[in-house]
């Protein structure tokens, strides 16, 4: 099975929420819709499901035009951010409900419910009602109900957003295994780059209703086509600084000059913007081969295993992520260092012209 959006546009109150999107999803694949709130992720899912009709363009299933065909006539299951379970039914009956609607035989229902429960590790809770479950168990139940339906297309709209950290991490680790075992087309929406990286598959970077880049998740992360893609796929936010390349040297915005080594060496003379993620910014003194800047600490966030150091330099605000506990004080002066081999370089049109071999 394949599902295709063919030059699809969606408008709400005269405002385009989806802008000329074309993509094809194949059976057995996972596609992650990555983008900030209001970037169009849910709108794409509603078009794929048949809940909404595009203003222009077509929706195809196996090459057949199904634009406007009601969701009830499609093989689709959807899991939302909010837990949606039947409160008066047990976990078993919640999972079994779509099979009972389909009129499946009792033996088949029991077999498929038990398989889904085993996959989602719900076997100890089958006789409980949703109100007797934790948030993670409730969301597992909703996912199991979607899987047991046997739908060809499964849509998950930020399904872990309302869970606490531990539950999110548990389900994130399990979902790739669950997807692989199902064999359906999975589409997963998230605002978190780390979640996209953990899930793998393919990622569609979205911004204001457009798909900016679509490809294998590691490739999109390591080689963003544009500055905007790099920004969407960076958390903490991407650090940015302007440079001018001229006569074998680079001048950074704010007046720092340095030899045009590393990725800068092959650039033509002119203006560029350099992007670097938080882990690419080093906080150190006198690191050989690095380009160093004096910056002021504004705040340090310690998460336990990592420290997020917020820095201000000239008119720029940057973030560095350091392993371990680092207790820098606001106002403290530090050297922030860049490795010219470990940055993204974008031209005047914000297109990628150089990227590190490993990022």
Write out the DSSP string of 183-224: -SEEEEEES-HHHHHHH-SEEEEEETTEEEEEEEHHHHHHS-
**CA atoms of 286 and 269, how far apart (whole Å):** 28
Contact 79, 160 (CB under 8 A): no
Check if the beta carbon of residue 314 is closer than 8 Å to that of residue 254.
Answer: yes
Q: Which residues of the chain have pLDDT under 50?
A: none
Q: Which long-range contacts (CB under 8 A, 24 or more apart) does 247-252 make?
A: 252/291, 252/293
Q: What is the pLDDT of residue 54?
A: 95
What's the Rg (C-alpha) of the chain? 24
pTM metric for this prediction: 0.90
- Tell me which CATH homologous superfamily contains domain 239-354: Nucleic acid-binding proteins (2.40.50.140)
* Predicted pLDDT of residue 353: 98
| CATH code for the part of the protein at 2-232 | 3.40.50.300
* Residue 267: predicted pLDDT: 96
* pLDDT at site 95: 96
What's the confidence (pLDDT) of residue 288? 60
**Ranges of each domain in the chain:** 2-232, 239-354
Q: Which of 181, 137, 152, 123 is nearest to 49 (CA)?
A: 152
Question: Measured at the alpha carbon of residue 80, what is the angle toward residues 22 and 95, in degrees to the nearest 5?
Answer: 115
> What is the structure's pLDDT at 311?
96
What confidence score (pLDDT) does residue 289 get? 64
Decide whether 2-232 matches 239-354 in CATH topology: no
Distance CA 210, CA 204 (A): 10
Distant-in-sequence, close-in-space partners of 280: CB < 8 Å, separation ≥ 6: 239, 338, 339, 342, 343, 356, 359
């Amino acid at each position: 099975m394949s599902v295709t959006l063919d030059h699809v546009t969606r408008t709400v109150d005269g405002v385009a929420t989806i802008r000329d999107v074309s993509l094809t999803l194949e059976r057995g694949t996972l596609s992650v819709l990555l983008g900030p709130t209001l970037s169009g992720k849910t709108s794409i899912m509603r078009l794929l499901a048949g809940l909404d009709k595009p203003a222009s363009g077509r929706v195809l299933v196996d090459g057949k035009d199904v634009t406007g065909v009601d969701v009830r006539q499609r093989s689709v299951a959807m899991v939302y951010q909010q837990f949606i379970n039947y409160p008066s039914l047990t976990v078993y009956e919640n999972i079994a409900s779509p099979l009972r609607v389909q009129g499946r035989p009792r033996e088949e229902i029991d077999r498929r419910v038990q398989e889904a429960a085993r996959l989602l590790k719900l076997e100890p809770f089958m006789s409980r009602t949703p109100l007797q479950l934790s948030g993670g168990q409730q969301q597992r139940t909703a996912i199991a109900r979607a899987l047991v339906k046997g739908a060809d297309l499964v849509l998950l709209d930020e399904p872990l957003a309302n869970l606490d950290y531990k539950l999110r991490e548990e389900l994130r680790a399990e979902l790739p295994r669950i997807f692989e075992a199902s064999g359906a087309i999975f589409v997963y929406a998230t605002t978190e780059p780390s979640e996209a990286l953990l899930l793998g598959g393919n990622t569609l970077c979205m911004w204001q209703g457009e798909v900016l880049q679509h490809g294998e998740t590691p490739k999109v992360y390591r080689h963003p086509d544009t500055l905007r893609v790099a920004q969407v796929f960076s958390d903490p936010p991407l650090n940015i600084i302007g440079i001018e390349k001229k006569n074998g040297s680079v001048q950074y915005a704010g007046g720092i000059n340095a030899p045009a080594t590393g990725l800068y060496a092959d650039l033509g003379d002119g203006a560029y913007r350099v992007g670097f993620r938080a882990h690419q910014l080093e906080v150190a003194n006198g690191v050989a081969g690095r380009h160093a800047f004096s910056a002021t600490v504004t705040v340090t966030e310690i998460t336990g295993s990592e420290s997020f150091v917020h820095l201000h330099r000239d008119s720029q605000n940057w973030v560095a992520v350091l392993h371990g506990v680092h207790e820098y004080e606001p106002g403290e002066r530090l050297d922030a260092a860049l490795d010219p081999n470990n940055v993204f370089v974008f031209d005047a049109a914000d297109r990628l012209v150089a990227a590190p071999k490993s990022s």
